[in-house]
Structure 1
Amino acid sequence: MLSAFYSFHLQMGRGPLMNPVPESAERRALLSHRSPLEPTAAVRRAPLRQRVAERVPRSIPDPLWGELFTAMGNHRDRALLAFYVSSGARATELLGPRGGQVDWAAQRIWVTSKGTRTLDPLPASPDAFRYLSWYLDEHGRVGPDEEVWRTLRRPVRPLSYWAMRRVLQRADERLGTNWTLHDLRHTAAARMAADPRLTLVEVQTVLRHRHLSTTELYLQPRTEELFDKLAEHYARPTVVPPRFAAGYDDVDVKAVFGG
């Protein structure tokens, strides 16, 4: 806490003679001897305390997504990216399923949710299951109790979060980008929110957000796409309707020039 930092140095005889971030007396009165069973009272910010801006989730535009997907060197990594961007699963959730938790007929994969620890089904795209089948054909099928995602080098072991993170880092080094695994979930959420056939509540259900306000963050347009649309808007010629001098009959003008 910044106010406590300055208060400590003020008591020790170091720093400024006046706390530049004082704590509001109203806030101290409300929080002192407060019962933990009661809800926290809403108070105004103390003087000089700046409001923290809410960051827009960063998603990958489609052209850059194509470059990132092409940079994957094997079917396992392509399948993982396809599952991430179509299911909206979190990074650690998608690495946990076993062979019996892949529903090939219904095109779903079962993951253990991070917060509730429940086993939930997530839909995925046909491309994701296609790359998954190619990966399993190359490196061997898995049993119902075996991990789906494994290392490609021997000894074969389950693929960890840090190993998958390194896969994305190597692609970033080749492309000169800095995408993260969590950006893949943001990309899936932005694509779902932009689909007019999906309601916001349906997107919230797939992403398993507790509050609808979290899902609403993905309704904001990407800055890059907004710039492209504005550039097209500025380049679009303005159509000025023809004007005729007063005294011409509209019927005669239409007969001569059409319309």
Structure 2
Amino acid sequence: MEGRVGLPTLGAVVAGPGELFPWLVRDDAGREVESVGNYLRDLMLGDASALTCRSYAYDLLRWFRVLWAVDVGWERATEAETAALVGWLRSARNPQRRRSKDGGHPPGSVNPVTGKQVSAAGYASATIAHNLTAVRGFYEFHGHFGRGPVANPVPENTARRAALAHRSPIEAMPRFRRARLRPKVPVRRPRAIPDAQWDALFARMGCTRDRALLACYVSSGARASELLGVRLGDVDWSDARLWVVSKGSRVRQQVPASPEALAYLAAYLEEAGLPQDNGPVWRTRRGVVRPLTYWAARRIMQRASAALGANWTLHDLRHTAATRLARDPELTLVEVQTILRHAHITTTALYTVVGIEDLVDKLAEHYQRPRPTVRWNPGYDPADVEAVFGAQ
């Protein structure tokens, strides 16, 4: 399959009956796909988040659509069906990319304002790798109970898995070849919003709520969903802190907030009123008052960025906060790691990397300086210097 035709839009991912089973996959007849449901239940019993369950559900729905298209049962799937899935993902157009307006930057190009690459028209390599991981985990689960094919249809590098299973944490990460059908996932360098563009972006915010939201993002370094979940009781005005539920551990942790961000937050609460019953701080402004969702906050950022010809995202605000903290000479890298709540300091170290856009002024001075002239010690005979090094 080369993505020349779309997969049959059979089945759907729908909300589940409760917190222990938040999402399930239904087939075209509206029946639950039992094999997927059993795997997702096991995933949730392993303390996975609801967002992880949702992501795996969509990956497995895509896998089953491939199986339905080629008329192969999931118990008889082989590496050939996996190759069909990968081939389709590598060449098909991602429907999420069709939402861009006409006249915008073409897919795969670089935005001249931000220097960030515009998303390609197809599926990203990380999406393909994630889908393969979900499918392999699905078959490993059923294989544990003696169900499904004898061999996992998703190939894996067994040497890599064996080496990493016994690796000392103080040793460098060994390098291995990718398993068959696995895409090459590029390492993306985080991009912070330059100060001039940050000022322009902040000026595009149309209300006090949006200005308070951006100020809290860039001063706390919190992730998008974490900050949107802040409630009135989570704001520590005296110590200038916000309490958020961390995305990974789901533990309630504190993040800093600048005096300027708290001032904007106070102005917003004075204008919109305090939330009832310790409700969410960030709320909609029109119609029935509801908590501000991630998609609504994302749309706020998209409109402001589009007006500037940019393609900044909500997560770029965290990159901006992290870069400012990492480049502050008064803060150590360990302190920045604590603020950002990174599990590994190597992740924090990514924000110390200097890019070409950070060297524009220095490069301009470099190009304006005259080339240095070579001067030899007067003790050398010029004829000898010319004979050895040639005419200078």
* 1:44 matched to 2:179: no
**CA offsets, 1:173-230, max 9 Å, x none?**
2111000000000110000000010000000011010001100100012321212321
Q: CA deviation at 1:141?
A: 2.0
- Aligned pairs for 1:96-175 (under 5 A) are 96-143=229-276, 145-175=278-308
* 1:223 matched to 2:349: no
Structure 2 partner of 1:20:
none
**CA offsets, 1:38-66, max 9 Å, x none?**
81786732699996542211211111111
Separation (CA, whole Å) in 2 of partners of 1:144 and 1:224: 47
Code of the residue aligned with 2:262 in structure 1: it is F
Q: CA deviation at 1:143?
A: 4.5
Q: Do the aligned partners of 2:232 and 2:281 also contact (CA within 8 Å) in 1?
A: yes
Q: Aligned in 2, Cα 1:5/1:212: closer, same or farther, shift over 3 Å?
A: farther
Code of the residue aligned with 1:44 in structure 2: it is F
Separation (CA, whole Å) in 2 of partners of 1:46 and 1:123: 40
**CA offsets, 1:145-197, max 9 Å, x none?**
11101111121111000000000011012111000000000110000000010
**SS of residue in 2 equivalent to 1:114:** coil
User: Which residue, 55, 61, 70 being the options, matches 2:194?
Assistant: 61
**SS of residue in 1 equivalent to 2:279:** coil
- TM-score normalised by the chain length of structure 1: 0.75
**SS of residue in 2 equivalent to 1:122:** strand
- TM-score normalised by the chain length of structure 2: 0.51
- Aligned pairs for 1:231-250 (under 5 A) are 231-236=364-369
Separation (CA, whole Å) in 2 of partners of 1:44 and 1:146: 49
Q: Do the aligned partners of 1:100 and 1:144 also contact (CA within 8 Å) in 2?
A: no
* 1:193 matched to 2:354: no
Q: CA deviation at 1:142?
A: 2.8
Percentage of identical aligned residues: 55
* 1:84 matched to 2:210: no
Structure with the greater relative contact order (CA < 8 A, sep ≥ 6): 1 or 2? 1
Structure 1 gaps of 5+ residues are: 10-26, 241-259
Separation (CA, whole Å) in 2 of partners of 1:107 and 1:47: 48
Structure 2 gaps of 5+ residues are: 1-78, 85-156, 168-173, 374-392
Code of the residue aligned with 2:222 in structure 1: it is A
Q: CA deviation at 1:73?
A: 0.7
**SS of residue in 2 equivalent to 1:233:** helix
Q: Do the aligned partners of 2:208 and 2:264 also contact (CA within 8 Å) in 1?
A: yes
* 1:95 matched to 2:221: no
Code of the residue aligned with 1:39 in structure 2: it is A
Q: CA deviation at 1:237?
A: 6.6
Separation (CA, whole Å) in 1 of partners of 2:296 and 2:219: 21
**SS of residue in 1 equivalent to 2:243:** strand
* 1:71 matched to 2:197: no
Q: CA deviation at 1:112?
A: 0.3
Q: Do the aligned partners of 2:160 and 2:176 also contact (CA within 8 Å) in 1?
A: no
Residue correspondences, number: 224
**Bigger radius of gyration, 1 or 2?**
1
**SS of residue in 2 equivalent to 1:179:** coil
Separation (CA, whole Å) in 1 of partners of 2:83 and 2:354: 44
* 1:212 matched to 2:345: yes
Q: Do the aligned partners of 2:325 and 2:336 also contact (CA within 8 Å) in 1?
A: yes
**SS of residue in 2 equivalent to 1:147:** coil
Code of the residue aligned with 1:222 in structure 2: it is G
Q: Aligned in 2, Cα 1:155/1:221: closer, same or farther, shift over 3 Å?
A: same
More divergent stretch after superposition (194-203 vs 53-62): 53-62
Q: Do the aligned partners of 2:216 and 2:261 also contact (CA within 8 Å) in 1?
A: yes
More divergent stretch after superposition (180-189 vs 40-49): 40-49
